[in-house]
A and B are shown apart, each in its own frame.
Chain A
């Protein structure tokens, strides 16, 4: 049973437009959520996170929204740039029980077209 799901394997957007990447989770113990960005043949890099006590966290062009009742989070990138083209992984952690140990989704490949 996959506890973190990214139902869209790929997303293509035009440069300058908004990119919205979605993630759903099933485990109610998750209380900390992270997004990572990964280029081919490299390790993921941390992008942005959100604690379950918040419903929004913003960092520059990146905003993460959390809807706890729906067990859903989304990453918004505005405006999208060609350099944003990468695989984005959603991850969830039950921080109080196992700090740092995260469960990852399968990723969404974002392509930003010039």
Chain B
């Protein structure tokens, strides 16, 4: 089955520690995205990548870093510089071909910083 996997589903970390969230897709999509969702709010774009070895900052990139060494993988590191890291993190991918823009989302990772 094609899709996007995120691991782990729940993650707990102590304040001041960096943590990396995994995102893998087997949809052969060129573009991948990371979003953050806080309670009662929409999805805010952290980083996105439209091709391997290239990525751009989204609206709230401060305190986060990414890499895109493989087409299938787009890991997100939440660094100690992120002031409010506790949130629900969603990874998505989309095809760049054709006119359809819909994104396919993973199940999300809930990060809690203690």
Stretch at the interface among B11-19, B67-75, B78-86, B103-111: B103-111
* Chain B CB within 8 A of A81 CB: no
Taking A41-B108, A43-B90, A43-B92 as contacts, is the C-beta distance between A99 and B40 under 8 angstroms? Answer: no
Taking A43-B92, A44-B90 as contacts, is the C-beta distance between A34 and B102 under 8 angstroms? Answer: yes
Contact of A99 among B4, B101, B105, B108 (CB under 8 A): B101
Taking A43-B92, A100-B95, A104-B42 as contacts, is the C-beta distance between A34 and B101 under 8 angstroms? Answer: yes
A107 and B42 alpha carbons, distance in the complex (Å): 6
A106 and B35 alpha carbons, distance in the complex (Å): 13
* Chain B CB within 8 A of A25 CB: no
Q: Which of A78-95 contact B (CB under 8 A)?
A: 89, 93, 95
> Across the interface, which residues of B come within 8 angstroms of A16, CB to CB?
none
A101 and B54 alpha carbons, distance in the complex (Å): 15
Q: Which B residues are closer than 8 A to A by beta carbons?
A: 4, 6, 31, 33, 35, 40-45, 48, 50, 88, 90, 92, 94-96, 99-108, 110
Residue of B nearest to A103 (CB): B45
15 residue pairs from A and B, CB less than 8 Å apart? A6-B42, A9-B40, A41-B88, A41-B107, A43-B6, A43-B92, A44-B43, A46-B103, A49-B100, A99-B50, A100-B103, A101-B31, A101-B45, A102-B101, A104-B43
* Chain B CB within 8 A of A45 CB: yes
Contact of A49 among B42, B96, B101, B106 (CB under 8 A): B101
> Across the interface, which residues of A come within 8 angstroms of B33, CB to CB?
100-101
Taking A42-B108, A43-B108, A101-B33 as contacts, is the C-beta distance between A89 and B101 under 8 angstroms? Answer: no
